Amino acid sequence: MDHLIVHLRDAQIFQKERLVIDQVNLKISKGEFTYLIGKTGSGKSSLLKTLYAALPLEEGNGQVAGFDLRKMTRKNIPHLRRKLGIVFQDFNLLSDRSVRENLLFVLKATGWKDRSKMTERLKEVLQQVNLIEKLDEMPHKLSGGEQQRVVIARALLNDPDLIIADEPTGNLDPETSDEILLLLRQLAMHNNTAVLFATHDYRILENFPARIIRCLNGRIFEEEGFEV
């Protein structure tokens, strides 16, 4: 079972008191790229928040990156999140700091101490997203696609088992969206990192087929191929 990064069994996903998805059975393996789709309000974001412990799992069973979601406490949530990379639609970069300083901030916050190792690691992740030459740029000088690449680099810093990407191309044009999608698929393959990619963009699903999980009518369904 070591290859399973996500394993939910008969899980119930709640948003406050409201049950949003029932009987969730989901397995995602190391290095696997999976789309998560569904209309607004279908529970996609609630499912993702449960995986990174922003919402508690109160019914059913769930493990993510070796952590039992039923036993999460305020103390061990940061340990889980160090095993995850999270990429949102809004870049959430610190606007008053350079790319280098944005990445150093995360390394310090997650317990890195050795300055030379920190510098080495941030250069490694920027090389993986083809942005090493932007090391000392401020975020506002970067294009939307470049900012999202910095966010992906930030997500890679602690060599995550799983990248959770919540509408990461929502603010980008189609060509840039394709670049970000291909980058994440490449990282899944080369780093053996699982990627769960939530999207509304059916064009991406048609152009770059992969496994699809759909949230619909309070359940999740596995889909073969692509159908809108």
Domain boundaries, the chain: 32-49+72-223
Beta strand spans in the chain (E): 4-15, 18-29, 33-37, 59-64, 67-68, 84-88, 162-166, 194-198, 211-216, 219-223
The pLDDT confidence band at residue 227, using thresholds 50, 70 and 90, is: very low
CA nearest 172: which of 112, 117, 90, 98? 90
Q: Check residue 225 and give its pLDDT.
A: 54
> Residue for token digits 């994440």?
184
Q: Check residue 15 and give its pLDDT.
A: 87
The pLDDT confidence band at residue 195, using thresholds 50, 70 and 90, is: very high
HSE-up of 162 (CA within 13 Å, CB side)?
A: 25
- State pLDDT tens for residues 98-135: 999 999 999 998 889 999 999 999 999 999 999 999 99
CA nearest 198: which of 187, 186, 184? 184
The amino acid sitting at 164 is I
Number of H helices, E strands in the chain: 7, 10
- State pLDDT tens for residues 132-178: 999 999 999 999 999 999 999 999 999 999 999 999 988 889 999 99
Both structure tokens of 187: 């990282």
Measure the CA–CA gap between 124 and 128, rounded to whole angstroms.
6
Q: Check residue 2 and give its pLDDT.
A: 57
For domain 32-49+72-223, which architecture applies?
Answer: 3-Layer(aba) Sandwich (3.40)
Q: Is residue 224 pLDDT above 80, yes or no?
A: no
Strand order across the 33-37 sheet = 84-88, 162-166, 194-198, 33-37, 211-216, 219-223
pTM across the whole model = 0.91
Residue 182: what are its φ and ψ, rounded to 5°? -65, -35
Q: Check residue 51 and give its pLDDT.
A: 96
Q: Check residue 88 and give its pLDDT.
A: 85
The pLDDT confidence band at residue 217, using thresholds 50, 70 and 90, is: very high
- State pLDDT tens for residues 169-188: 888 899 999 999 999 999 99
Residue 19: what are its φ and ψ, rounded to 5°? -75, 120
Q: Check residue 1 and give its pLDDT.
A: 46
Output the CA–CA distances (angstroms, integers) from residue 200 to 17, 148, 180, 216, in the order listed. 26, 17, 15, 13
Mean pLDDT across the chain: 91
- State pLDDT tens for residues 73-100: 999 998 999 999 999 888 789 999 999 9
